[in-house]
Amino acid sequence: MNILKTLGIIITSLLLISCNKNEKNEIAIVDPAEIYIKGTIDAELTSPPFVPAPVGNRVAKKLLVNMEIIEKEGTMSDGVTYVYWTFGGSVPGSFIRTRIGDVVEFTLSNHPDNKLPHNIDLHAVTGPGGGAESSFVAPGQQKTFSFKTLNPGLYVYHCATAPVGMHIANGMYGLILVEPEGGLPPVDKEYYIMQGDFYTKGANGERGLQAFDMNKAIKEDADYVVFNGKVGALTGDNAITANVGETVRLFVGNGGPNLTSSFHVIGEIFDNVHIEGGSTISKNIQTTSIPAGGAAIVDFKVDVPGTFILVDHAIFRAFNKGALGMLKVSGKENKTLYSGVKQEGIYHPEGSTIQTMPDENGKKTAEVKVVEKSLTQKMKDGKQVYMNTCFACHQSEGQGIEGAFPPLAKSDYLNADVKRSIGIVLNGKTGEITVNGKKYNSVMTKQTLTEVEVADVMTYIYNSWGNNKTNVTVDLVKQVKNKN
């Protein structure tokens, strides 16, 4: 009897354990639609390249998002301005960070000074138009709608008011991150980067306020392809930063409206890539494809110091249209991992100048009457041309590159014959020359610059770095050009 009783207790215990296991399995698989929310919080919204604090393991809540649409003039490139349409005053728009199971109450307002109605389509929304059908809002008005976050991932949002392409092309896009239960694995630095293609009436680099060009947009002929809304948004003093040994996470989106991004960081390999911003992770990736209206999360550890260049590896977009950024890493060198003399300016924006190999068949152009600029203005404009066109070979202080490209600073060759130097810029040059006692035998490509740009850049060079202070006029450039 005692044996039977003991067996009964054992069987009962096993059944209870089995039931408990089943219950645990059922609890582990939670339908996001059924996740209980507790409490209400205001969303932290940030402008690029910054992101809000990680969600971590907080419980699901009602998240209040208040976003204002602002139409405003901003800088596309040096000397070039554009009227952007923005979510929250920046391109891309404010970064939104939430978690699976949150209920997002979204209030979209349209600034009273705006000229057009707008709305918002969030790819994270399960609902008609991603919220667009509930958020159409006129200037001076606001609309509120709500949705529950059902899928973890990094999602694009954009305006969907007709003409939809025009609204997106003017900068109306951004990212919303839905973190999984428990949050993303922690890293040391996180940044927000979004690519976009822009279409202007003037060509790339044409100065002044530029209007949107619908015909170019339809043909997908972009004048600018940029990160975070403008050329240079992530270079120089605007570069993102990290320290050796830190892990870096980039939330990368592509607003389009047309072009796919081939996102790459020169000198780094992505340890983890959340493909298209979803749950699938690939490891040890060199370049990841991000479609228009898509996103990716890339993580990597920075092991050595230096400047790492972010590009769309459709490479002319990077160096000639603006899709270039910088990650500056500080810290102690590790020559076991990398050693070598570092040359400044190897990867630098080249701007819109079209360079060709030298030839002897240059065509003369019709004479155009221009008003000569002041020396101060020519120096300013000439420096811009130099940084876009000459910097990579001749360096920031005109020092050149030993054994490859001759110096422009205190150059006996340059100062001996101004007309000869102008001719080289106009027509290019091959063959050996001697500069400051050293021989160089490289190729100077022909620069497709206007006569005004040649005058500006040559004046800048001659009035910098110990040269002879010649003020190169447009008429002098024309004289040289017309003799060819």
Annotated binding residues for Cu cation, written as ranges, equal 118, 123, 158-159, 167, 172, 313
Residue 14 above 80 pLDDT? no
> Domain 34-179: which topology?
Immunoglobulin-like (2.60.40)
State mean pLDDT over 170-192. 97
**Angstrom distances, CA of residue 13 to CA of 2, 9, 10, 25, 26:** 17, 6, 5, 18, 20
Query: CA nearest 278: which of 262, 295, 260, 261?
Result: 295
Residue partners of 62: CB distance under 8 A and separation at least 6? 37, 39, 40, 41, 102, 103, 104, 105
- pTM for the model stands at 0.76
**What gap in Å lies between CA 239 and CA 304, rounded to an integer?**
17
123: left (phi over 0), alpha (psi -120 to 50) or beta: alpha
pLDDT value of position 26: 41
Mean per-residue pLDDT, 358-382: 70
pLDDT at residue 179 in the model: 97
Which superfamily, per CATH, for 354-483?
Answer: Cytochrome c-like domain (1.10.760.10)
Ranges 53-62, 204-213, 362-371: which has the least confidence? 362-371
pLDDT at residue 23 above 60? no
Beta strands in 399-449 (DSSP E): 433-435, 438-440, 446-448
Kindly report the average pLDDT of the chain as a whole number: 89
Residue 82: pLDDT over 80: yes
Return the CATH superfamily for domain 189-330. Cupredoxins -  blue copper proteins (2.60.40.420)
Known binding-site residue numbers: 118, 123, 158-159, 167, 172, 313
Distance CA 402, CA 398 (A): 12
DSSP H helices in 314-446: 315-321, 375-389, 391-394, 412-416, 418-427
Q: Do domains 34-179 and 354-483 have the same CATH topology?
A: no
Residues 330-358: tens digit of each pLDDT: 999 999 998 876 655 555 566 655 555 56
pLDDT digits (tens, 9 = 90+) for 466-481: 999 999 999 999 999 8
Q: At residue 127, does pLDDT exceed 60?
A: yes
**Which residue type sits at 51?**
V
Q: What does the domain layout of the chain look like in residue ranges?
A: 34-179, 189-330, 354-483
* Tokens found for residue 6: 């003991």
Largest Cα–Cα distance in the chain? Answer: 120
